[in-house]
Chains A and B, each alone.
Chain A
Amino acid sequence: MMFGAAAAAVLVTMSLAMVRAIKGPTVYDRIVAASNFGTLTVVLIAVYGFLSGRPEFLDIALVYALINFIGAIAVSKFVQFGGVQRPLGEDDPGDI
């Protein structure tokens, strides 16, 4: 019951984040919405593990959290620099 309520709340929030990711005017809106969607996916996997009585799902959630972080950093760097390499031409190695 309580896990179902938490999972329903997370699903509602995921749908709201998906609306923002579809209609966001700038690309940063979409990145923020996608990152938020990934975080909510982690929470949803964890809650679903408890809901179905199999807490082993937490390992999957942990790996998904790692991938989500790397993805958000990589996409923001890609949008800013047009690539994931260091900035060309200067000695400045970039900030991220």
Chain B
Amino acid sequence: MENVLDIISWGLMICGGAFSIIGGIGMIRLPDVFSRMHAASVTETMGATTIFIGLMVQAGWTLTTVKLLLMLIFMMFTNPTATHAIARAALGEGLVPLSDGDEEDLSDYVLADTEMMAPEPDDKEPEPSKT
């Protein structure tokens, strides 16, 4: 039983390391901000999740497993949220994803969004705080 759990844990952690390195290579080689975000997401969800599950198998039914599960759930919620926020900031800045011709028309959305979100021009004084 010990050996079986060790082998499962070993395989899961090797898979997690492989996913991490694949995501890292993708972050070096891919051509564009959004595709690099995609590569980083491989590392952040798949690699970290698989390594954590391997550690959980290693830890058994202890408090350590509960902590690992808590971290796992937290990271599954927050990493996509942070990536979404960064991607939205990049779109609002005006960066457009690379595509091979038949792209969707993102410019209306981006420009309207940018005008709505943009701060006041520099020559105006900013309003005093309302508090």
Contacts and interface: CB of A to CB of B under 8 A. Distances in A.
A17 B24 contact: yes
Contacts of A16: 21, 24-25, 27-28
Contact of B71 (A8, A58, A87): A58
A53 to B, nearest CB: 12
Contact of A5 (B17, B25, B116, B127): B17
Interface residues of A, number: 55
Q: How large is the interface on B (under 10, 10 to 19, 20 to 34, 35 or more residues)?
A: 35 or more
Nearest to B129: A85
A62 B40 contact: no
Interface string B4-29: 00100110011011101101110110
Nearest to A35: B82
B85 to A, nearest CB: 5
Contacts of A89: 119-120, 124, 126-127
Contact of A9 (B6, B20, B59, B127): B20
Given A39-B79, A62-B70, A88 B117 contact: no
Given A5-B14, A26-B33, A87 B75 contact: no
A80 B120 contact: no
Closest 9 CB pairs of A and B: A9-B17, A16-B24, A13-B24, A72-B82, A69-B78, A80-B89, A13-B20, A6-B13, A28-B90
13 contacts: A2-B6, A12-B24, A19-B28, A20-B27, A26-B90, A33-B40, A55-B59, A62-B74, A65-B75, A69-B78, A76-B82, A81-B119, A95-B117
Interface of A: 2-3, 5-6, 8-10, 12-17, 19-20, 26, 28-29, 31-33, 35-36, 39-40, 42-43, 46-47, 50, 55, 58-59, 61-62, 65-66, 69, 72-73, 76-77, 79-83, 87-90, 92, 94-96
